[in-house]
Structure 1
Amino acid sequence: MRKEVLDKQKDLEKSNSEIVEKIEKLSKEQQKKFDLIQSKLDKIIETLKPEVSSKIEENKDSAILTAPVDSTQGFQKTEEMAPTFGKYFVLKHTFNNVSNFENNKYYSSEEEEHFGIIWKINVKRCDGFFSYFLFYLLLNNTEKNWEIEAELEPKLVSISSSGKKEKRRKKSSDFFQSDPMKSSWRCLKVIECDEFENDFLVDDCFCAEIAMKLKRMTGIYKENLRSFDETKEESSDVVLIVDDEKFFVSKLYLAHSPYFKNLFMGKFSESKKSEIKLSGIDADDFQKYLEVLYGEQAIDEFNVEGILIVANKYDSSLVIEKCENFLQKESKKTLKTKLQLSKRYNLDALRKQCLEEI
């Protein structure tokens, strides 16, 4: 009897030992998987940081490699150019092997899509001068006339052991149009090659950067799905004015937003007004925002971020959720772009989905 008990005890100890070994093995495997996922996540997050430039390509027939360059320290984040407000983005690319640039030949950054427009930076060495350009192209062809008013702040940046040096051009306004008589590029800076090489070329590389704020966009979006003009006056109980355009709407629909609910029902001077002026948003974005509130399937690749800007400004969780759902299930935007949007607009479900796809 005693022998049987001892044998059972030995078997139990052996079984426990095997279980511990399996757990340790499993833990090591899980740790390896975790480390691998963490490594991929770190790389993705690194690409989202504004101080790290993305991969640069030359023309179709050759390539220019890039390296990370911290060019945002000391960047002038004024109220007008604040990156957390409005249609703001920064194009930034680091060009390497500049000494191999051929005369009068363009070298291009990779294309980036922002608000339905394709943007890229081109640089060129030409007859003793170095220049760089902003190119733009509408994402899809349209028969409508479109126009963008933008504020630009271009600069060249170099970083060496002695510190950072930059050449910044003052902010300026520009117009981008569908007019076929106008070019689809802007020359932003011209500098003598000797000055460029002495002041900005470090280890045969430099960084070109353009901070942009799109102040007004017209004709970019698809046709409206619902009208909010004076023909809706009888069924409306308030008029909202955006960029001098009047929207005849119902307070009932807008009450989904805590902002508008307090505005209409709170003890504010505007609460008793029949017309209220809104600022800091585009009329086209507000049109699409209203369409979503009214139940229309208005969200697409062009307008999703514009709608998110309005929805975040007015804390409209219903619209934000619909935009996030579109980005998760229908959008063809790149993984990097989706991660950027999830970070900027706090879209946790989208961020989780993106990380699972890494």
Structure 2
Amino acid sequence: MSEENDNIAPLNKDKNDLMPDDQKVEQVNTENDEKNPIDALNSSVQSMHKICQELLQKQKNLEKTNMEIIEKLRSAEEKIEKQSSELQQILQEIQLKSTETNEESDDSTVPLENDNSLNTASSDFTKTTIPREIMPTTGKYFVLRQIFKNVSNMKDNDIRWSEIEEHFGVAWSMSMCRKKDFLSFCCLQSTDTGKWMIEVRQQLVLISNRIEKVREGTATFTNIGKKCNTSGWSSFMNWAKSQKDFLLDDQLTVEVHVKIKKTTGIYKDNLRSFDETMEEFSDVVLVVNEEKFYVLKKFLAVHSSYFKSLFLGQFQESKRSEITLTGIDADDFQNYLELLYGDNPIDEITVEGILLVADMYDTPLVIRKCEEFLLKESKKTLKKKFQMSMKYHLEALKEQCLDKIKSVADIRSVLPEDIHELDPSIMPELLKKSLALHDPQ
């Protein structure tokens, strides 16, 4: 029997020698796995841990890239504004030289008699080939657009008004007037609050198919001291010239581009303090229009992907104790923080400013609360709610607005003066509504 075993052993050895190398390795690994199952498990865990680390690193790199893009965009906007100011100075010099050689009365730019606060930076682009500057559209920016009809029938001192529009809690409108041989424009602002002041940059544009005429300047609307709630140009253009160059089918198309720079006294009293009295409870200071807000980094990071990247990402700002935020209003940021900290600052006046900040800093909680107010409590017009639903991507509000459209008149009421300003994604919905109204069956 022992001789048979001795004979079998060499045979097995010969079989192992004839086995391919990969099978030998597999056999060894199998034997090792059977002997060391814990080692195999540890190896798998280490592999998974390595994969997770790589994914986290990629996520951090992506957040860093997003923040860099945001900062570059903001830096670009600041450079554009600076270059715009320089361009305006150059254009003023061109205008002055043009005025010296050509004393046509329609080239003069005169502030309205009751608006001493307007510093006009006139630019007559009907006489130059320099394209008009595009005003930055971030922050509190809006456009009043009106098509004035039957203009040729206007007599001396006739005034035409645009519809009143509400933007950022304030009512705005513009007027056109014929004053003897001149065409006059002004922008009107009104609010029911106490003492208030609004600083704006505005650009008035007269439009035709081939040319534009632009006037631009800064203005301060206020009811403090010497009241002044209008600004504009009493001699914007020679009347005959406006009829010749800008009248199309007896209609005059006018735009007023407005960028609100600062507001005072428009909003309610603060519900909570974020000033230096909160310094011991904060770990960072955020500066908005020279006003300081003492807050907690991680609290903001929990609610906002922007602040998460800013404070916890791989950026120089994450190590700073004081960071400046641009493109927003201090009052709006105050209301935004109050809402995050549990107070309720939302009302008809504050809601759009809060939404602007929440949308900019990607804060779902604040956006949701603002949308709930607009859905359940707000008395804003259907047109205004519809505009806000598209601008701030409020799907529930958009659906509510569409449900409230019951007639062709309702459809007309929500359409902007310029149909090209309407979000293309909403056109099919309005078309369906229109077809349903014309063919109820």
Shorter-normalised TM range: 0.7 to 0.9
- Extract unaligned runs of 5+ from structure 1: 1-74
Residues 269-308 of structure 1: pairs in structure 2 closer than 5 A: 269-308=316-355
Gap change, CA 1:141 and 1:274, over 3 Å in 2: closer
Is 1:120–1:135's contact at 8 Å kept on the other side of the alignment? yes
Distance (whole Å) between structure 2 residues aligned to residue 254 and residue 270 of structure 1: 15
Report the Cα distance in structure 2 between the residues aligned to 1:294 and 1:153, rounded to whole angstroms: 38
Alignment partner, residue 266 of structure 1: 313
Change (3 A) 1:87 1:76: farther
1:180 deviates by: 4.7
Offset of 1:89 from its aligned partner?
0.7
Question: Are residues 77 and 310 of structure 1, via their aligned partners in 2, closer, same or farther at CA, if it must alter by over 3 Å?
Answer: farther
Match of 2:293 among 242, 247, 256: 247
- Check conservation: 2:200, 2:258, Cα contact below 8 A: yes
The 2-side partners of 1:299 and 1:166 are apart by 40
The structure with the greater share of residues assigned to strand is: 1
Please give the alpha-carbon distance, in whole angstroms, between the structure 1 residues aligned to 2:150 and 2:290.
50
Whether the 8 Å contact between 2:132 and 2:214 is mirrored in structure 1 is: no
Aligned partner of 1:72 in structure 2 is none
- SS, match of residue 325 in structure 1: helix
Deviation of the 1:125 alpha carbon: 1.2
| Residue 185 of structure 1: aligned partner | 230
Task: Determine if contact 1:327/1:350 at 8 Å carries over to the other structure.
Answer: yes
**Preserved contact between residue 219 and residue 231 of structure 2 (Cα < 8 Å):** no
Cα separation, 2, equivalents of 1:183 and 1:244: 25
Match of 1:95 among 140, 148, 151: 148
Aligned-partner Cα distance in 2 for 1:130–1:276: 47
1:350 is aligned to 397
Post-superposition CA distance 1:200-238 (Å, at most 9, x none): 222221112111111222221100000111111122222
The residue identity in structure 2 corresponding to 1:183 is C
Q: Distance in 2 between matches of 1:182 and 1:164?
A: 39
Query: Which structure 2 residues correspond to residues 1-358 of structure 1 after superposition, within 5 A?
Result: 78=134, 80-82=135-137, 85-138=138-191, 140-142=192-194, 144=195, 146-158=196-208, 163-169=209-215, 171-188=216-233, 190-255=236-301, 256-358=303-405
Q: Report deviation, 1:336.
A: 0.6
Q: Partners in 1 of 2:349 and 2:257 — Cα distance?
A: 20
Report the residue type matching 1:309 in the other structure. Answer: L
Distance 2:332 2:155 in 1: 43
Distance 1:77-1:324 versus aligned 2 partners, 3 A rule: farther
Deviation at 1:92, TM superposition (A): 0.9
> How many residues are matched?
274
**What CA distance in whole angstroms lies between the structure 2 residues aligned with 1:281 and 1:183?**
25
Seen in structure 2, the aligned counterparts of structure 1 residues 141 and 262 have a Cα distance that, compared at 3 Å, is: closer
Counterpart of 1:8 in structure 2 is: none
Which region of structure 1 is more displaced relative to structure 2, 220-229 or 91-100? Answer: 91-100
Q: In 2, distance between residues paired with 1:193 and 1:268?
A: 57
Shift of 1:261: 1.7
AA aligned to 2:189 is: Y
Identity across the alignment (%): 51
Q: TM-score, normalised by structure 2?
A: 0.59
Q: Deviation of residue 332 (structure 1)? A: 0.9
Task: Answer yes or no: is the 8 Å Cα contact 1:133–1:185 preserved in 2.
Answer: yes
What residue identity is the alignment partner of 1:334?
T
What's the offset of the Cα at 1:76? 5.7
Instruction: Tell which deviates more after alignment, 96-105 or 338-347.
Output: 96-105
CA contact (8 A) 2:140 2:328 kept: no
Query: 2: distance between equivalents of 1:215 and 1:149?
Result: 5
Task: Write the distance in 2 (CA, Å) between the matches of 1:105 and 1:180.
Answer: 30
Tell whether the 8 Å contact from 1:253 to 1:294 is kept in structure 2 after alignment. no
Deviations 1:10-65 (A, max 9, x none): xxxxxxxxxxxxxxxxxxxxxxxxxxxxxxxxxxxxxxxxxxxxxxxxxxxxxxxx
Deviation track 1:63-99 (CA, whole Å, cap 9, x = no partner) reads xxxxxxxxxxxx9673x422xx211111111111123
TM value normalised by structure 1? 0.72
Code of the aligned partner of 1:250: L
1:121/1:133 contact within 8 Å kept: yes
Post-superposition CA distance 1:93-140 (Å, at most 9, x none)? 1111123223213211111111122111111112222211111111x2
Contact 1:288–1:298 under 8 Å retained in 2: yes
CA contact (8 A) 1:265 1:271 kept: yes
Structure 1 runs of 4+ aligned residues shifted over 4 Å read: none
Q: How far off is 1:299 after superposition?
A: 0.8
Distance 1:219 1:284 in 2: 9
CA–CA distance in 2 between the matches of 1:118 and 1:184? Answer: 11
Q: How far apart are the structure 1 equivalents of 2:392 and 2:293?
A: 26
Contact 1:98 1:205 in 2 (8 A): yes
The structure-2 alpha-carbon separation of the partners of 1:231 and 1:238, relative to structure 1 and needing over 3 Å to count, comes to same
- Contact kept, 8 Å, 1:122 with 1:134, in 2: the verdict is yes
